[in-house]
Amino acid sequence: MQRRQFIQNASLTALGIATFGGIKAVTRSAASGNALRVNGKRIESRIFELAKFGMDANGHGTRVAFTQADIEGRAWFIALMKKAGLNPTIDTAGNIIGKRKGKNNALKPIAFGSHIDMVPDGGNYDGTLGSIGALEVIEILNEQNIMTEHPLELIIFSNEEGGTIGSKAMVGDITKEGLQQRSQSGLTMGEGIRAIGGNPDDIQSCIRKKGDIHAWLELHIEQGGILEKENIQIGVVEGIVGIVHWEIIVEGFSNHAGATQMNMRQDALLAASKLVIAVNEVINSVKGTQVGTVGKISVLPGAYNVIPGKVQMGLEIRDLSADKIDMLFKEIERRAALIAKASKTNIRFERQANESKPALTDKKLQQTINATAKSLGFSTKFMQSGAGHDTQHMSSIAPAAMIFIPSVGGISHSPKEFSKAIDMENGANVLMQTILFIDKSN
């Protein structure tokens, strides 16, 4: 037996598919499923096509959720879904949902997809790969006239980058307060959902309960540099970090920058700067993979000759333990009180409504993805996700898992984000074969 054939058979055996001495002995449908491959060229050309929506004059992407570019990108995607026979609809949270019938429509659907919105000045692969890869799976099944047992659902979640809003809503975790939070587009979450065809007044209608979905899968770029550095083709995600945001408001006193002596000032920006450093020190003060960032700041009134009277900043902390996030924040608060006292300013923290809890993916699905990837001849690694994903919410209502592929240079949320066509193709093949295996196995 050739080595490649041996590896393939060994992996299929690990998957619970009897090989009976050779691949030909595998049941007909499983064998034909395994021979199926996605069209890598089509995936890459669609990545470039979608990138045009919201691209500015410098070639940078601005397809922020709820903006005109997002609306146009979604329309492009919806048209492709229609062409693929998915009859897409928009749920009340603005999620795009396409359905493909199975042989047994009494079974719960296997759902998969991702998001197509991006951060300001973002990259062309984050979310879009999982969305385009999911559509590719549907199209291959269509082209090969393959009917799965389970119905399939392709889901494109709304405003992933602004707090995984669509998936939070789908699992019933969005609050009134969350809908009133202002999004990056300038609209509130509720207004934005309405702008893309949802209905925030009836947000409950989009909720899926535990047991409504057979399994959820998301293909995604890693967004870090581990897979590339270790020369691994496929990442199997074990857990996704929790994410909490706070607005920090520092109030000092605006005064004349020339006539106010240095010891008479209540400089809000000076206090804020010390706090930024304190955040970094606190996050680094304990062992672990926790991260903390002050990623935005505005200074008022903002003039050369005026001492800053007010500063507003955004703080984010991420970790796999919610308790650790709370512990780190308490220490940041303690340091802030000391800074406020010394600088005669007032520092206030406002915890934002749309936070994400840490989540683990489904162990059985992890094993299936790993064995499927190996059966296709790919190297794999079990790993954590430092980025947030819709999958972390879906894991509360369904067995959920993620497939990662390498990000060149470990760069993401940047116009320099890039993944190779071959890696995207590999990831989409793992997604497709995993879906087919789940479909047959239970």
Point out which residues bind ligand GLV (CB under 6 A): 161, 387-388
- Beta strands 400-405 and 359-360 are unpaired
- Tell me the number of residues near Mn ion by CB under 5 A: 2
Determine if 316 is a binding residue for Mn ion (CB under 5 A): no
**CA distances to 74, 113, 281, 369, 374 from 235, in Å:** 28, 17, 31, 9, 11
Residue number with CB closer to Mn ion (7 or 226): 226
Q: Do 358 and 298 form a contact (C-beta atoms < 8 A)?
A: no
How is residue 17 written in tokens? 């598919």
* Interaction pattern, residues 113-142, with Mn ion; x per rule: CB under 5 A: -------------xx---------------
228 binding partner (options ligand GLV, Mn ion, none; Cβ < 5 to 8 Å by kind): none
Determine if 73 is a binding residue for Mn ion (CB under 5 A): no
166 binding partner (options Mn ion, ligand GLV, none; Cβ < 5 to 8 Å by kind): none
* Beta carbon of residue 388, minimum distance to ligand GLV (angstroms, whole number): 4
* Beta carbon of residue 186, minimum distance to Mn ion (angstroms, whole number): 20
Describe the crossing of helices 322-343 and 268-284 by its angle, rounded to 10 degrees.
150
Residue number with CB closer to Mn ion (40 or 127): 127
Q: Do 138 and 87 form a contact (C-beta atoms < 8 A)?
A: no
How is residue 151 written in tokens? 């119905």
**CA distances to 276, 291, 329, 345, 436 from 316, in Å:** 11, 8, 10, 22, 38
388 binding partner (options Mn ion, ligand GLV, none; Cβ < 5 to 8 Å by kind): ligand GLV
Residue number with CB closer to ligand GLV (33 or 113): 113
424 binding partner (options Mn ion, ligand GLV, none; Cβ < 5 to 8 Å by kind): none
How is residue 386 written in tokens? 């430092």
417 binding partner (options ligand GLV, Mn ion, none; Cβ < 5 to 8 Å by kind): none
Residue number with CB closer to ligand GLV (274 or 389): 389
- Beta strands 310-319 and 291-300 are antiparallel
In 3D, which of 36, 154, 40 has the Cα closest to residue 424?
Answer: 40
139 binding partner (options Mn ion, ligand GLV, none; Cβ < 5 to 8 Å by kind): none
Tell me the β-bridge partners of 221. 405
Residue number with CB closer to ligand GLV (50 or 387): 387
Residue number with CB closer to ligand GLV (149 or 316): 316
Determine if 162 is a binding residue for Mn ion (CB under 5 A): no
* Beta carbon of residue 306, minimum distance to ligand GLV (angstroms, whole number): 34
Nearest-CB residue for Mn ion: 127
Peptide bond into 301 cis (omega under 30): yes
In 3D, which of 117, 115, 112, 136 has the Cα closest to residue 46?
Answer: 136
Specify the DSSP class assigned to residue 65.
T
Q: Which residue type occupies 170?
A: M
* Beta carbon of residue 177, minimum distance to ligand GLV (angstroms, whole number): 20
Can you give the binding site for Mn ion, defined by CB under 5 A? Answer: 126-127
